[in-house]
Amino acid sequence: MNEEYVPIEVFAGTQWEAALVKSLLENAEIEAFLKDEIRGTTMPWQVTPGGINAVKVVVSGKDVELAKQVVNEFEANRRHEDI
């Protein structure tokens, strides 16, 4: 299988956070998908231990490096707002 088409998780969080990250990625022209969007919201304990960070954002392997930059910027801004 060609690695550039392998789906790779770049973020995990709440449904709201994951949707926001997906939107930021799409604004950067990166196609992104939410994994476990429904189960992660209605039954998060079935998706992850303790139900924490149950909704995942997935991108194609070819977009991983740029996607990580977008996610890192999102997390840095979120930490900055918590101060």
The DSSP secondary structure of 64-77, one letter per residue, reads: HHHHHHHHHHHHHH
Instruction: Give the pLDDT of residue 79.
Output: 81
- Going by the DSSP 8-state scheme, the letter that residue 13 receives in this structure is E
User: pLDDT-derived band of residue 6, with 50, 70 and 90 as boundaries?
Assistant: very high
The structural domains of the chain, ordered by start, are 3-82 (3.30.70.1530)
Mean pLDDT of 12-36: 95
Instruction: Give the pLDDT of residue 37.
Output: 80
Q: What is the pTM of this model?
A: 0.85
Question: How many CB atoms neighbour CB 20 within 10 A?
Answer: 16
**Residue 69 scores a pLDDT above 70:** yes
Mean pLDDT of 19-33: 97
